[in-house]
Amino acid sequence: MWTDQTSKWLKEIKHFNNHTLKLRSRKACLLVIDMQNEFLAEDGSIFFHYASEIVPNVKRLVSACRSASIPVVFTGHVHEDPAVDGGMTAEWWPQIKEGRCLIKGSRGAQIYSGLKARKGEKVIWKHRYSAFYNTDLEITLRGMGVTDLIITGVLTNVCCESTARDAFFRDFRVFFLADATATSEPEFQVATLKNLAYAFAYVTTTDHLLKQIGS
């Protein structure tokens, strides 16, 4: 199991993960990145099984944040016409360039059924890895008075990491969930967690963060 490796990962990054942060719940926001059918549904064209294993933890976080009146923001990576809005992302991924996945309005691009946004919750559709790039995410967070950003979702080393770095550059306090993010290889997970702990984010767990939300 993916999440069963969390303790091992945290031990590997312990030397770097020394900027422990206390969540300021009244100024926090949960960001659920790209939990879309394309990645999570077994018939998705870029499905990887590790993604489905973090769904229970992401659900727990979403539920706890809603109960604590902490805003939840969802993102999805989409393209209307990869030849126009794909850029280097489309050049890098043939399945995007050829219009075989993440096309806006398609079933694959939709947020996974078990994690859909509620009425009034923000959904940001993006064309690049970072949820901040050419979107209104920062304006939304500033408007809500958010200073603490909790990051969950997929892929750890691509869209989640890119968003975490951009959040840090914008002076948000970043909480990165080791057991509520997933990617295609455990090696990528460890490398990202180590990089983020070294210079960009506090790497923590679902259980630890839930205790802070409940306090």
Structural contact between residues 196 and 203, judged by C-beta atoms closer than 8 angstroms:
yes
Active site residues: 34, 126, 159
The H-assigned helical ranges of the chain are 6-13, 37-40, 49-53, 55-67, 82-85, 87-92, 94-97, 137-143, 161-169, 186-199, 206-214
Fill in the amino acid letter for 49.
Answer: H
Half-sphere exposure of 92 (CA within 13 A, CB side): 7
Q: Residue 111: how many CB atoms within 10 A of its CB? A: 18
CA–CA dist 170, 173 (Å, integer):
9
CA distance 165 to 171: 10
Helices (H), 16-119: 37-40, 49-53, 55-67, 82-85, 87-92, 94-97
Q: Are 152 and 54 in contact (CB under 8 A)?
A: yes
